[in-house]
Chain A
Amino acid sequence: MSPNDLSSYLIIGAILFSLGMFTVLTRRNAISVLMGVELILNSANINYVAFSHFSSGNSAGQIYAIFVIMLAAAEAAVGLAIVLAIFQLFHTIDVEAAQTLKE
């Protein structure tokens, strides 16, 4: 583990991914599940930028990271709008409560 070593960044990314995956798997609150997705996207971004810095030497990885951040913003906007719509309909955001496809 040192700041000048690729594998330390990859390990940070791996742990962050597992924590995000754990959040997605165990949480019953839809907003918490979305937080887990954000952790997973951040870990993927760390890997992109780390490989861009240590392995490829060009900036393509950073550009992909920016696209991922852009898609994460779009995903958060639409995902939270869906959560709010579910809350208005069911008065709860427990992901197990929202089971029906129509009113």
Chain B
Amino acid sequence: MSWTPQLPPVAKIEQKTIVDLIAKGRRVDERKLTDYRDIKIETGIVQKANGSAMTHLGKTKVMTGIKVELGAPFPDTPNQGVLTVNAELVPFASPSFEPGPPSEAAIELARVVDRGLRESKAIPLETLCVEPGKKVIIVFVDVYVLDHDGNLIDASAISALAALLTSKMKTYELDGGEVRVKDELLPLMIQNEPVAVTTAKIDGSMILDPCLQEELVMSSRLTVTSGRDGSLCAMQKGGLGAFTDQEVRQAVRTAIEKGKEIREVIKGATSGR
């Protein structure tokens, strides 16, 4: 069951400030409407993981750890490895997060990140089969939201990709019915770089990369994920408002362009690692 969430109250004056500023083409944090916040990425922080990345998007902090394990394939895809994305809204990341089973926000977050990686074919799952129908490689992508200052989807997608791009794994070989593990570490093969770009609509204006203050007054958001060749691989609208078709097309255009810039930032932070 999903129900209308009780959002933390926002003072009318704060709401008005945000809306008035946007009407003048400005934002609460001095950005322009189409400015993205600074992205900082650190990789290789957790040695026990196959790959890890800490991503700062403004004050939003998301960490992702990659674990690679041997397991059983899904019955309908016996020749493919498995990709599993999970998101954890760590209780200290926001006063509104609580421990317990994953909330619908966490599930949506994980599924949007998952769709980006899966539909862009970022991980060639068919190369992760060890023994058809029996043993395949499972890639666990665990997204940890540590500090919530808005736009968790984009920050999570960036951090998941950065962690994957710097992941190393042992190789598994089939040797007479036995699976042999070679200790030599090789990079996990990644063949596309999906980047999610979220546009929020506030009082009829479209702004990029909403911070938390803006998310609390936005009517809706649209996340557009595009791949290396600029094609679209996933989209998700959220929030109680609506978009016109022109607004959607505009958000798509912006997302493809901004996606290119963000992809370069991610590649810069992960190359040679």
A binds B: no
